[in-house]
Amino acid sequence: MTRTVIIAATLLLLIAAVGCTPSDRGLGHRLPQRTTYASPVPMAEADKVVGSTDEVDLVEQVSTYRRSYRRSLELLVTHYTVVGDNRKLGWAQEELRALDRMPQYRYIIDAQVMPADLRATTRIPAADEMYLDAVETQRQAEPIGILKDEELLRVALSKYNTLIRQYPNSDKIDDAAYRAARIYEYFKDYEIALLYYQRAYQWDPDTPYPARFYAASMLDRRLRRRGEALELYQEAVLREGDRYDEWKMYGERRIRELTTSDN
């Protein structure tokens, strides 16, 4: 009972952020003096979420609250920048940085990733066009020297996933999987990033990307699955080492370290 009350209280705090009205991201426009919030979600609705036993519903609620929480922190950063309250600005920025450092898992993983037995073999013009469009969206989201546009990154991610679902035999699915993995890694979604790196070389064993090295590093540094990482480093050195000198040196060093110690 105590646990349910605590969870309900936490959800209600997050729900309060959902209705926060959007404002101009530019710092040249002053925010309204009073922030307007939507009416709180009725207690019955909160109880329904807390009492739900459906995994999909619960995971979707977590995802929604995460986005609302981040958006509210971003609005606080903008507000305190405009009004010149450096003390509270520092608090909001630190909380936002802490959120960025926190792993955020998707929980439902296998259903989101196409199976390992696909083959990137067929040139399909429509898939090629979709891939180029996704790459351009990702490029716009990652301008040099400027913070990434996370909403655009999610749009690019959606386009890569759509390509894979709609054209599972396209010779671009390994490219899409690798680029999607990089985005998932940026969002600290390490488990699903690992799966996408793996799909890149499973779908095309000769993929031109260092997907094995990235997957091995993910297993090694992020997920602490060192035994699997060692085997994959060894495979990566053999399959990708000739194309990526720096990765090869790094992989060989980690192979020595993992073989001779518990690092």
Each of the 263 residues of the chain gets a pLDDT tens digit; together they read 444 444 444 444 444 444 443 333 333 333 344 444 343 444 444 454 555 666 656 766 777 788 788 889 899 999 999 999 999 999 999 888 888 777 666 665 544 689 999 999 999 999 999 999 999 999 999 987 778 998 899 999 999 999 999 999 999 999 999 999 999 999 888 999 999 999 999 999 999 999 999 999 999 999 999 999 999 999 999 999 999 999 999 999 999 999 997 65
- CATH fold of 116-208, please? 1.25.40
- In whole angstroms, give the CA distance from residue 107 to residue 111: 10
- How far is CA 16 from each of CA 12, 37, 90, rounded to the nearest angstrom? 6, 7, 22
In the chain, which residues fall in CATH 1.25.40.10?
Answer: 116-208
Angle between helices 55-83 and 86-101 (to 10 degrees): 150
CB 19 within 8 Å of CB 54: no
